[in-house]
Amino acid sequence: MLDTLKQAVNPYLPSWEYVPDGEPYVFGDRVYVYGSHDFFNGDVYCMGDYVCWSAPVDNLGDWRYEGAIYRKDQEPGNDDLQGNLYAPDVAVGPDGRYYLYYTISDDCTVSVAVCDTPAGKYEFYDHVHYKDGTLLGKSGKEDPQFDPGVLREGDKVYLYTGFCGYGDKSRRGPMCTVLGPDMVTIEEDPVFIAKSSAYSSESDSYYGHEFFEAPSIRKKGDYYYFIYSSIKFHELCYMMSKDPREGFEYKGVLVSGGDLHIDTYKPAEKCAYYTANNHGSMVQIKDDWFIFYHRHTNGTNYSRQGCFEKLTPNADGTFKQAEMTSCCGLKPLVGKGEYPTYIACNLFNDIDMTYVAWSGWMDDRFPKITQEGRDGDENYGYIANMRDSATAGFKYFDCKGIKKISVKTKGYANGEIQVKTAWDGPVLGSIPIGYANVWHYTSADITVPDGVNALYFTFKGQGHLQFASFVLE
């Protein structure tokens, strides 16, 4: 399995790592991703300290742990650790240092930490403030601050913030505030660049996809791209403008955590993976653009993992919505060897369900990706609770001469796993499944057509199956 995982797969970090809200940047010859830090079996969002991972631009399957870069107790007044570190962003200052912008869960201001290197030990620097010292978020002129996204151009830093619950009239929309060269002092007061759902109308280009949270900003050519999570939660949308403070027009969805709106392999509004919120951004790596986002695991809102997909640009500067894949939208995975099931990009059953339960946990009717042990234990993830009709999909493989497939399973289950190349396609063959107390392999002679294919595994039978990996031979 280690050989197969040297390829770029989703999630791109080890299956025991939970780093959502990813903001990717290329510094030098490496891609660095900054995000919040969930725990396996976490009780709430963002329970951990900030960690950083990086990969060489030439090999997006070779991610390196850079360590913890900023701790919760470094925020002034957070010695009791009651404030969790929410989604951060990073910008390089005029002085060449790296500035980390963040909010904590029990405050409405923007904090900034600084470091001489992209992934070194950051130290608290200051809070974003007006020239009179009043903190942004405390003046009464703006909405509470949340999810900072930053872009520096020359001596100006454009800071985008906001959280707008559906129909909440106390939140007016996402804000843009201009900071000066010290990276924290406000030079131009906040302006609202779009309306929240409480104030939008059908004349607004983003109607039905209004801003919810997760503001992020990028520039490509002459255009600023404002990326955000919409009121639908699962989708990362974007608007474009040639002015960073006004004129943003909605352009579409970059990625959906359930592949909603994608109709290339299923009906457009069929949800192909259980969703909740989403957060991420775009980055150019060499000649290509990618969208980073996160998925939900363990049947809960609070154990999220980072994924990314390659984007397909259009001539007018827009992008096609990226399809969720196991191979990050890059070259297909080698159609030989053993693959862990935690790289499933599709997971569903015959019960239509888009969101994980609002209580935080899904009930036992639905499959989920999980792991054994506790948070931090380096155990491969697997799919648990596959009941009758549960389907796991993996895209895509370069299939050549596959004549046999084995599956690694356990659990109180009796039936078969059907193998297909489309979620609703013909069954290529079935692998018998019986009751098992420990992980074990069962096999069947199954021929997969040569070429680039998806692989779908559907359990048919009684009981609940745990599904760890499959082997292509």
Report the alpha-carbon distance of residue 338 to residue 340 in Å, rounded: 7
The answer to whether residue 421 scores a pLDDT higher than 60 is yes
Instruction: Order across the sheet with 89-92: list the strands.
Output: 89-92, 98-102, 111-115, 123-127
Place 264 in a pLDDT band, splitting at 50, 70 and 90: very high
> What pLDDT sits at residue 377?
95
Mean pLDDT to the nearest integer, 27-48: 97
- Going across the sheet that includes 211-220, the strands are 211-220, 223-230, 235-241, 249-256
Is the pLDDT score of 292 beyond 80? yes
Per-residue model confidence (pLDDT) at position 362: 75
pLDDT at 343 over 60: yes
The tens digit of pLDDT for each residue in 157-174 reads 999 999 999 999 999 999
Confidence at residue 5, expressed as pLDDT on a 0 to 100 scale: 74
Q: Which CATH class is domain 4-320?
A: mainly beta
Split at pLDDT 50, 70, 90, the class of 47 is: very high
Q: What is the pLDDT of residues 106-115, one digit of tens each?
A: 899 999 999 9
Average pLDDT, the chain: 97
* Residue 363: per-residue pLDDT: 82
As beta bridge partners, residue 153 has 156
Whether residue 276 has pLDDT greater than 90: yes
* Residues of each domain in the chain carrying CATH 2.60.120.260: 333-472
Task: Please write the tens of the pLDDT for every residue from 355-410.
Answer: 987 556 678 899 999 999 999 999 999 999 999 999 999 999 999 999 999 999 99
Catalytic residue among 23, 75, 89, 213: 213
pLDDT-based confidence at residue 449 (cuts at 50, 70, 90):
very high
Q: How confident is the model at residue 122 (pLDDT cuts 50, 70, 90)?
A: very high
Delimit the CATH 2.115.10.20 region(s) of the chain: 4-320
Whole-structure pTM value: 0.98
Catalytic residue among 17, 21, 49, 235: 21
The answer to whether 29 is a known catalytic residue is: no
Per-residue model confidence (pLDDT) at position 15: 97
Domain 333-472: CATH class, spelled out: mainly beta
Is the pLDDT at 32 greater than 80, yes or no? yes
Q: What is the pLDDT of residues 318-337, one digit of tens each?
A: 999 999 999 999 999 999 99
Position 364 scores a pLDDT of 87
Q: Would you call 21 a catalytic residue per the annotation?
A: yes
Residue 3 has pLDDT above 80, yes or no: no
